[in-house]
Structure 1
Amino acid sequence: MYWVAPSILAASLSLLAGCSHRPSAVEGSKCYATAMPTVGEGGLAWGDNQKSARNKALENCEQYAGRSGGTPKTCRIVEARCK
């Protein structure tokens, strides 16, 4: 189980890196959230407030976890912040 934390960190960083080339998508957004499933890829989302960012992150997590053969129904918010 020692691989879980590095896996979550790697997935989070890859999601952040994937969003870095689209500054216009997050330019007006104040908040972001990251959601991760027990198994599979997670989701990152930006929003005007924490509620919208969290909802979008959960939706993205379920979508990506399903595509990656993971467990979409286990998605949980692991980080949510506002600027």
Structure 2
Amino acid sequence: MVRKAARQCSPWLIPSLLAISLALIAGCSGKASTARYSASNVGSACYAKALPTAGEGGLAWGSTLSMARQKSLNNCIRYAGRSGGTPNTCQVVLAECRN
């Protein structure tokens, strides 16, 4: 019976692979993240908040008061449905425009 000699890895191979992978992970996580959504759009001067009787409500910005009210009502219906609330009871409780 012929046996082949077992090849041993160099003692520095595993630590170097670990160091390279950590460097790659750190390099990717250090990138500046870009915000997908802004709390207030640049041209949006009006905001509105809609709440259901149960569940999560919705806050939205819009260029006009009616647009902000409609967006917040749509958000309220969406979020209330996801949170187990009552989407059919959403009402706009606050709507204002900034100066």
TM-score normalized by the length of structure 2: 0.59
More helix by share: 1
The equivalent residue for 2:38 is 22
* Percent identity for Structure 1 against Structure 2: 58
Secondary structure at the aligned position of 1:26 is classed as coil
In the alignment, structure 1 segments of 5+ residues that lack a partner are 1-20
Once the two structures are superposed, residues 23-77 of structure 1 have per-residue CA deviations (whole angstroms, 9 ceiling, x without a partner) of 5x52210100000000000001000110000000000000000000000000000
Match of 1:68 among 78, 83, 90: 83
Which residue of 1 is the match for residue 92 of structure 2?
Answer: 77
Instruction: State how far apart, in whole Å, the 1-side matches of 2:83 and 2:64 are.
Output: 28
Partner Cα separation in structure 1 for residue 75 and residue 50 of structure 2: 8
Runs of 4+ residues deviating >6 angstroms: none
Question: Which structure 2 segments of 5+ residues have no match?
Answer: 1-36
SS of residue paired to 2:54? coil
Matched pairs, number: 62
Match of 1:49 in 2: 64
TM-score (norm 1): 0.70
